[in-house]
């Protein structure tokens, strides 16, 4: 028989039965076993068989071509069958039957199969999400297990289509069911952590992709969802803030863990400015906790750790790490025990010699090195954030000291690209208002956290650098410190003394504090000294007992502030030739110094004797500078104070009687004594990465120190030798005097600290409330 004949049985084609059944489509969209739609397949097959007799459908069977309408029809059919199952499962769960509901929940519990088990195809999760999006209003408390499973699934590693559907579903969920907002936000906050990426190792990836998935993409998806929720729930910040604090990494966790979470928090500020103050306060508080543990000189640390290769391992941006290829956190586990760290070593441990501490230096220095690297990275990210915000809000070039740029941006938000804006007055004013708001936020955090914490070395440089951006900021910061130190008598005395130390160190070290502001601050400090000294002399003349010790402890702190500022800025405290020319003969000054400094001579020779109570290093350097510039000769008083320490009963010497201080060191208290002798907030900045911001705005001692060649007189040289000898006496942290040679006062001012060098001291923040 001719096979090409039209009448041949070879030309007979069995009619197709219409759209393929669900059973045949299982090969196209494999489901997890057991298949929750299996019970629906039989009914679907029966209905499709009944449709096959339709003459309209029979016309389509001759050409089994996948047209667009055919694809859309098939897609809609799958959506309908998933929606039918979800609706039935929710209804049956509400009635007490949880069989189908449990199968539905199981679809979102992705687990990584064992190596011996055969690969299991991923379920069509997007279809389930689309189905749930249509029944959000039916989700009740009895369905919480399903919501938790959906929220807890690793959705950030799915394909883009699924991420969009998931984002839409979560938005509808928190809008229709606010009781689930806390669950959703807790998962998002945890997703910002470095450890959250490790959960993908426990889940089967839904699809293979040639392009590796980095943490940057994962975190950007979380931010995208959070931004979407914020637009729907205006009250979200109040719920989100405590969760962000809850998941903040412990200070013992690795540098990568700290930086990853902090960068994500700083990105939250960009689209949720209501949380700016609380997020910055949380980050700065963590920086303070790490900062106070660093109580050794970094030069000494580098000598102990000659091999610095470990410090360079973190150069790789953690956001560029491929998900699933993270290394182990080297220092998060090894340092998990606080008992092995420096937090147990106290500066109040007594007056034992330092030989016992030297034996523990290797392990302690390794721990400190890890803390230094963490603090440096944290401060650099904060300064990067401030710098980027300043650049975006200012059409003018960024000031000196902000040459570092952030790499925390994502491909979707390229912050490193220059932003060109018209130089309009409106834009300039908006940028200025933004920077002002940011500054006052940082100033408030400084007042609440930094000012009331002792022993911090670097965290306070955040406000130091930000003050350099605008003369207004510097002026406001100085005004706040002067007000707290001199006029706010309701403040604790230790806080007022700390404010005096801050204003002295700030004016001395900040290059952007000009001559006019320096003179204004010194005038305020000198007026305070004059008023307290007048009050003291009046009480002495009337035979009254001196006022509260707290008042005179502030007197000594302010006197030390004047001594320190004089050492650095004495050139700005003299009258210019132009000023002298403008004055007539009647109003001409008696000396070349500003008039307010006259009280310093009276203070030094008074019975309060600040040269004995203040920091030895500051006193000796002040004496040297004051004598070199013909301002004041202090050496007889200093020598008398030194002798009085070794001859307390030598009452025959009238000079010693007049110079003995009215208040003893014991009367001042340990905290105030430590404040006066060891706390100089803006000592040289030694952190390598974040230090690039400070270099351009910081004044080094070497730039203002007086050369020894300026003193040519033989007698003055002999006096300098005597000063070097007496300068060997320093006040230790515990209040006792040490006779160790400090290596010279000039080295002390130019080195890490003008205070005595504490070795391996603890870092317990002392809050004053």
pLDDT in tens, 8-52: 555 555 554 444 443 443 334 344 445 666 555 554 454 444 444
404-445 pLDDT, tens digit per residue, is 444 343 333 334 444 445 557 787 888 888 999 999 999 999
Task: Dihedral sign for Cα 352, 353, 359, 363, please.
Answer: positive
Look up residue 525 and give its DSSP letter: H
Helix axes 125-133, 160-176, angle to 10 degrees: 30
325-329, 468-472, 527-531, 632-636: the lowest-pLDDT one: 325-329
pLDDT beyond 80 at 378: yes
Residue of 445, 405, 438, 409 whose CA lies nearest to 287:
445
Please report whether residue 716 resides in a domain: yes
Its pTM stands at 0.76
Instruction: Note whether residue 726 is domain-resident.
Output: yes
- Residue 240 belongs to some domain of the structure: no
**Cα 748–chain centre separation:** 30
Query: Rounded CA gap, 253 and 244, in Å?
Result: 16
3-state SS class at 731: strand
CA distances to 177, 240, 710, 745 from 625, in Å: 72, 55, 11, 11
- The answer on pLDDT for 314 being more than 50 is no
**Separation between Cα atoms, residue 394 and residue 523, nearest integer Å:** 34
Alpha helices (H) along 349-492: 355-358, 361-393, 425-445, 461-467, 471-482
Q: In the prediction, which pLDDT does 631 show? A: 94
Across the range 135-157, mean pLDDT stands at 93
Selection from 61, 163, 145 nearest residue 108 by Cα: 145
Residue 176 has pLDDT above 90, yes or no: yes
Q: Give 387's contacts (C-beta < 8 A, 6+ positions apart).
A: 398, 402, 404, 405, 406, 693
Render pLDDT for 75-93 as a digit per residue (tens, 0 to 9).
788 888 999 999 999 999 9
pLDDT of residue 589: 58
Gap between the Cα atoms of 49 and 693, Å rounded = 75
Q: pLDDT digit string (tens) for 275-303?
A: 999 999 999 999 999 999 887 666 666 66
Instruction: Answer for the pair 225, 309: CB distance below 8 angstroms, yes or no.
Output: no
Largest Cα separation within the chain, whole Å, is: 146
Residue 686 near residue 298, CB atoms below 8 Å = yes
Residues 6+ apart with CB under 8 A from 672: 493, 494, 497, 553, 557
Q: Is residue 391 a contact partner of residue 275, using CB atoms and an 8 Å limit?
A: no
The stretches of 59-195 forming alpha helices (DSSP H) are: 68-94, 99-106, 125-133, 144-152, 160-176, 181-191
Average the pLDDT over each of 282-296, 449-463, 736-750 and give the range with the smallest value.
736-750
For 246, phi and psi rounded to 5 degrees? -60, -40
Among 231-245, 362-376, 630-644, the range scoring the smallest mean pLDDT is 362-376
Mean pLDDT value across residues 1-7: 54
Residue labelled with tokens 């130390």? 501
Contacts of 117 (CB under 8 A, 6+ apart): none
Percent helix, strand and coil across the chain, each rounded to 5?
60, 0, 40
pLDDT band at residue 540 using 50, 70 and 90 as cut-offs:
confident
Does pLDDT of 168 surpass 90?
Answer: yes
Q: Alpha-carbon distance 264 to 641, whole Å?
A: 56
Q: How confident is the model at residue 449 (pLDDT cuts 50, 70, 90)?
A: very high
Residue 658's pLDDT is 44
In whole angstroms, give the CA distance from residue 721 to residue 434: 54
Are 455 and 292 spatial neighbours (Cβ–Cβ below 8 Å)? yes
Mean pLDDT check: name the lowest of 67-71, 487-491, 556-560.
Answer: 67-71
pLDDT of the residue at 197: 63
Q: Is the dihedral of CA 525, 626, 464, 425 positive or negative?
A: positive
Q: For the residues of 261-326, what is the DSSP string, one character each?
A: HHHHHHHHHHH-GGGHHHHHHHHHHHHHHHHTT--S-HHHHHHH----GGGGGGGS-GGGSBTT-P
Q: Which two structure tokens, joined as six digits, stand for 45?
A: 């097959």
More confident residue, 143 or 116: 143
In a domain, 735, yes or no: yes
DSSP element (H, E) containing 737: strand 737-738
Count Cβ atoms within 10 A of the Cβ of residue 339 and give its class: 0-12 exposed, 13-18 middle, 19 or more buried.
exposed
Question: Does residue 722 contact residue 711 with C-beta atoms inside 8 Å?
Answer: no
**CA distance to 30, 75, 125, 388, 397, per residue, from 132 (Å):** 20, 16, 11, 41, 51
Q: Which long-range contacts (CB under 8 A, 24 or more apart) does 728-733 make?
A: 729/616, 729/642, 729/645, 730/616, 730/617, 730/756, 731/615, 731/616, 731/673, 731/677, 731/756, 732/351, 732/756, 733/347, 733/674, 733/677, 733/678, 733/758, 733/761
User: Is 703's pLDDT higher than 60?
Assistant: yes
CA distance 509 to 507: 6
Output the DSSP codes for 534-576. Answer: HHHHHHHHTTPPP--HHHHHHHHHHHHHHHHHHHHHGGGGBPP
Long-range contacts from 717-721, C-beta under 8 angstroms, 24+ separation: 719/627, 719/635, 720/624
In a domain, 511, yes or no: yes
What is the mean predicted confidence (pLDDT) over 302-307?
55
Q: Please answer whether residues 345 and 760 qualify as being in contact, where contact means their C-beta atoms are separated by less than 8 angstroms.
A: yes
Mean pLDDT rounded to a whole number for the chain: 75
Residue 296 domain-assigned (yes or no): no
Q: What is the CA radius of gyration of the chain?
A: 36
**Residue 727 domain flag:** yes
Q: Please count the structural domains in the chain.
A: 2
Confidence of residue 71 (pLDDT cuts 50, 70, 90): confident
Report which DSSP code applies to 751. Answer: S
In a domain, 297, yes or no: no
In angstroms, rounded to a whole number, what is the distance separating the alpha carbons of residues 367 and 360?
A: 11
Strand partners, 574: 593
Q: Which carries the bigger pLDDT value, residue 234 or residue 123?
A: 234
The answer on pLDDT for 5 being more than 70 is no
pLDDT tens string 473-520? 999 999 999 999 999 999 999 999 999 999 999 999 999 999 999 999
Q: Cα 692–320–259 angle (5° rounding)?
A: 50
pLDDT digits (tens, 9 = 90+) for 347-356: 333 333 443 4
Q: Which pLDDT belongs to residue 653? A: 47
Point out the domain boundary residue: 213, 243, 273. Answer: 213
Query: What pLDDT, on the 0 to 100 scale, is given for residue 150?
Result: 95
- Asked whether 158 and 206 are in contact (CB, 8 A), the reply is yes
Sign of CA dihedral 523, 529, 535, 537: negative
Question: Among the three residues 213, 232, 265, which one is the final residue of a domain in this structure?
Answer: 213
pLDDT category of residue 214 using cuts at 50, 70 and 90: confident
d(CA 283, CA 231): 25
Q: Please state, for a pLDDT cut of 90, what percent of the chain lies above it.
A: 47
C-alpha triplet 216, 220, 226: angle, nearest 5°: 150
Structural domain containing residue 113? 20-54+67-213
Residue 119, Cβ neighbours under 10 Å: how many?
A: 7
Give mean pLDDT, residues 588-614.
89
Which pLDDT tens digit goes with each residue over 194-213? 988 665 545 545 544 556 78
- What span, in angstroms and rounded, lies between the C-alpha atoms of 721 and 727? 10
pLDDT at 672 over 60: no
Buried b (16+ CB within 10 A) or exposed e, 486-505: beeeebebbbbbbbbbbbbb
Core vs surface per residue 356-391: b (16+ CB within 10 A) or e: eeeeebeebbbbbbbbbbbbbbbbbbbbbbbbbbbb
The CA distance from 407 to 416, in Å, is 8
- Please write down the HEC assignment for all residues of 6-51: CCCHHHCCCCCCCCCCHHHHCCCCCCCCCCCCHHHHHHHHHHHHHH
């Amino acid at each position: 028989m001719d096979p090409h004949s039209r009448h041949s049985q070879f030309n007979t084609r069995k009619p197709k039965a219409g759209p393929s059944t669900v059973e045949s489509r299982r090969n196209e969209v494999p489901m997890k076993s057991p298949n929750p739609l299996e019970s629906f397949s039989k009914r679907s097959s029966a209905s499709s068989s009944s449709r096959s007799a339709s003459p309209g459908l029979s016309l389509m069977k001759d050409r089994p071509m996948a047209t667009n309408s055919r694809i859309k029809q098939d897609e809609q059919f799958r959506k309908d069958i998933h929606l039918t199952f979800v609706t039935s499962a929710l209804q049956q769960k509400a009635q007490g039957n949880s069989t189908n509901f449990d199968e539905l929940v199981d679809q979102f519990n992705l687990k990584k199969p064992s190596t011996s088990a055969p690969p299991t195809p991923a379920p069509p999760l997007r279809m389930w999400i689309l189905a749930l999006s249509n029944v959000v209003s039916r989700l009740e408390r009895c369905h919480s297990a399903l919501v938790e499973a959906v929220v807890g699934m690793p959705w950030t590693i799915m394909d883009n289509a699924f991420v969009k559907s998931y984002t839409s579903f979560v938005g509808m969920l928190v809008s229709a069911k606010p009781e689930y907002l806390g669950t959703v936000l807790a998962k998002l906050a945890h997703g910002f952590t470095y450890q959250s990426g490790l959960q993908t190792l426990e889940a089967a990836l839904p699809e293979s992709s040639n392009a590796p998935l980095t943490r940057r993409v994962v975190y950007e998806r979380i931010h995208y969802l959070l931004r979407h929720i914020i637009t729907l729930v205006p009250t979200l910040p109040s719920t989100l803030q405590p969760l962000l604090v809850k998941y903040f990494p412990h200070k013992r966790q690795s540098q990568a863990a700290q930086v990853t979470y902090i960068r994500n928090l700083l990105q939250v500020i960009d689209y949720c400015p209501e949380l700016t103050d609380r997020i910055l306060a949380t980050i700065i508080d963590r920086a303070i906790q790490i900062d106070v543990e660093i109580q050794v000189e970094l030069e000494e640390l580098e000598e102990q750790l000659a091999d610095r290769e470990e410090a360079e391992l973190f150069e790789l941006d953690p956001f560029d790490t491929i998900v699933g290829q993270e290394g182990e956190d080297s220092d998060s586990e090894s340092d998990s025990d606080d008992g092995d760290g420096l937090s147990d070593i106290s500066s109040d441990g007594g007056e034992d010699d330092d030989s016992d501490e030297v034996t523990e230096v290797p392990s302690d220095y390794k721990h400190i090195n890890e803390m230094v690297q963490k603090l440096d990275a944290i401060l650099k990210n904060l300064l990067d954030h401030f710098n980027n915000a300043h650049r975006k809000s200012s059409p003018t070039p960024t000031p000196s000291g902000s040459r570092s740029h952030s790499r925390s941006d994502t491909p979707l938000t390229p912050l490193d690209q220059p932003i060109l804006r018209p130089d309009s007055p409106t834009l300039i004013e908006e940028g200025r208002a933004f920077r002002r708001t940011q500054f006052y936020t940082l100033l408030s955090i400084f007042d609440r956290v930094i000012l009331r914490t002792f022993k911090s070395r670097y965290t306070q440089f955040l406000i130091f650098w930000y003050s350099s951006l605008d003369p207004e900021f510097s002026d406001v910061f100085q005004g706040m410190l002067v007000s707290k130190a001199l006029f706010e008598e309701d403040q604790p005395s230790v806080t007022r003394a700390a404010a005096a130390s801050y204003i002295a160190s700030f004016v001395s070290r900040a290059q952007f504090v000009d001559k006019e502001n320096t003179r204004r601050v010194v005038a305020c400090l000198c007026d305070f000294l004059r008023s307290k000294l007048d009050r003291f002399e009046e009480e002495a003349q009337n035979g009254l007992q001196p006022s509260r010790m707290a008042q005179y402890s502030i007197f000594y702190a302010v006197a030390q502030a004047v001594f320190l500022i004089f050492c650095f800025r004495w050139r700005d405290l003299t009258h210019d030739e132009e000023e002298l020319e403008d004055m007539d003969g009647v109003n001409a000054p008696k000396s070349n110094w500003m008039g307010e400094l006259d009280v310093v001579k009276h203070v030094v020779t008074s019975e309060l004797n600040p040269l004995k109570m203040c920091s030895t290093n500051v006193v000796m350097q002040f004496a040297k500078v004051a004598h070199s510039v013909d301002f004041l000769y202090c050496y007889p008083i200093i020598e008398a104070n030194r002798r009085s320490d070794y001859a307390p009963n030598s009452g025959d010497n009238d000079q010693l009687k007049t110079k003995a201080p009215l208040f003893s060191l014991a009367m001042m208290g340990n905290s105030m004594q430590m404040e006066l002798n060891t706390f100089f907030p803006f000592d040289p900045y030694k952190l390598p990465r974040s230090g690039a911001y400070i270099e351009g705005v910081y004044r080094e001692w070497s730039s203002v120190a007086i050369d020894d060649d300026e003193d040519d007189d033989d007698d003055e040289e002999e006096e300098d030798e005597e000063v070097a000898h007496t300068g060997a006496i320093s006040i230790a942290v515990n209040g006792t005097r040490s006779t160790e040679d400090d290596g010279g006062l000039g080295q002390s001012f130019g080195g890490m600290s003008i205070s005595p060098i504490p070795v391996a001291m603890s870092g317990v923040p002392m809050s004053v409330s």
